[in-house]
């Protein structure tokens, strides 16, 4: 995937046509990923760029008040604007605003397309608990299968909680354990029992199987969506 620097808007030549060419080239790569049903990291990257531009646009008043100063750097990590005082007119700021006004609708269009693909993929996924579900569902195992192949990918997961701006969020960390061929003999229940024997640190794990009747790119789509699906599912039962 072709990448775009987080500070692309003010890096190199600040010229509308140049930045338009740069953005459209980046979006062409995003489009190819979407055509190949590869959502990540393309979709999350799009969200970052969109939020960055909206943040800058919302600081338009601050831009206007900084007449006579050259916008030398945008510290997007800290969401603040840094200026260098030099004697310039505000043509540069107008050019940046024009670039932003062009770019935001472009990003919005691709964001909608990516979210539509995400929703279709998610609707094709099914999640079900394996065996009895313990009271603690914040750690356990996730079985991933596209429903067509015998191979099941086993991931250990751990859900954490964090706060931001008085809001509570759930995050999930996963690590690949193994891949196992599913069969009438080697069922999900027997795989769960085998994991308990091999990993005594989790004597009573929560185990969830996530499957889809359609095959999707594993690392670029299936696993990221499966992780989000699992977090949302657990939030409804805990």
CA-nearest of 233, 141, 148 to 193 is 141
Does 40 score more than 90 pLDDT?
yes
Q: Please report the pLDDT score of residue 146 as a whole number.
A: 79
Taking the alpha carbons at both ends of the chain, their separation in whole angstroms is 38
CA angle 13, 86, 72 (to 5 degrees): 40
Largest CA distance in the chain: 77
**Beta strand 69-75 pairing with 80-85:** antiparallel
**pTM, whole model, 2 decimals?**
0.81
* C-beta of residue 208 within 8 angstroms of C-beta of residue 129: yes
Compute the distance between CA of residue 146 and CA of residue 151 in angstroms, rounded to an integer.
Answer: 9
Structural domain boundaries in the chain: 8-122, 125-237
Strands (E), the chain: 69-75, 80-85, 125-129, 139-145, 151-164, 167-181, 206-212
The residue among 40 and 68 whose pLDDT is bigger is 40
Q: Please report the pLDDT score of residue 209 as a whole number.
A: 96
* C-beta of residue 159 within 8 angstroms of C-beta of residue 170: yes
Q: What percent of the chain has pLDDT over 90?
A: 62
The mean pLDDT of the chain is 85
Does 87 score more than 90 pLDDT?
no
> Please, what's the b/e burial string for 106-126 (b: 16 or more CB within 10 A of its CB; e: otherwise)?
bbeebbeebeebbeebeeebe
The residue among 161 and 99 whose pLDDT is bigger is 99
Does 86 score more than 80 pLDDT?
no
pLDDT confidence bin for 67, thresholds 50/70/90: very low
* C-beta of residue 40 within 8 angstroms of C-beta of residue 224: yes
* C-beta of residue 88 within 8 angstroms of C-beta of residue 97: no
């Amino acid at each position: 995937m072709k990448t775009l620097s987080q500070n692309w808007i003010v890096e190199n030549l600040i010229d509308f046509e140049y930045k338009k060419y740069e953005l459209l080239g980046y979006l062409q790569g995003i489009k190819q990923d979407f055509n190949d049903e590869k959502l990540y990291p393309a979709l999350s990257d799009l969200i970052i760029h969109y939020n960055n531009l909206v943040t800058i646009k919302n600081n338009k008043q601050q831009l206007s008040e900084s007449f006579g100063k050259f916008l030398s750097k945008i510290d997007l990590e800290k969401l603040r604007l840094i200026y260098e005082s030099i004697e310039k007119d505000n043509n540069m700021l107008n050019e940046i605003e024009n670039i932003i006004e062009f770019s935001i609708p472009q990003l919005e269009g691709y964001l909608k397309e990516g979210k539509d693909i995400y929703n279709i993929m998610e609707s094709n996924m099914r999640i079900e608990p394996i065996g009895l579900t313990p009271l603690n569902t914040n750690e356990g195992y996730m079985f991933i299968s596209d429903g067509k192949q015998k191979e099941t990918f086993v991931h250990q997961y751990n859900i954490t909680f964090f706060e931001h701006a008085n809001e509570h969020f759930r995050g999930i960390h996963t690590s690949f354990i193994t891949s196992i061929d599913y069969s009438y003999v080697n069922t999900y229940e027997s795989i769960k029992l085998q994991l308990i024997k091999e990993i005594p640190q989790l004597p009573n794990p929560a185990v969830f199987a996530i499957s889809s009747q359609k095959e999707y790119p594993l690392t670029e789509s299936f696993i990221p969506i499966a992780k989000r699906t699992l977090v949302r599912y657990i939030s409804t039962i805990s």
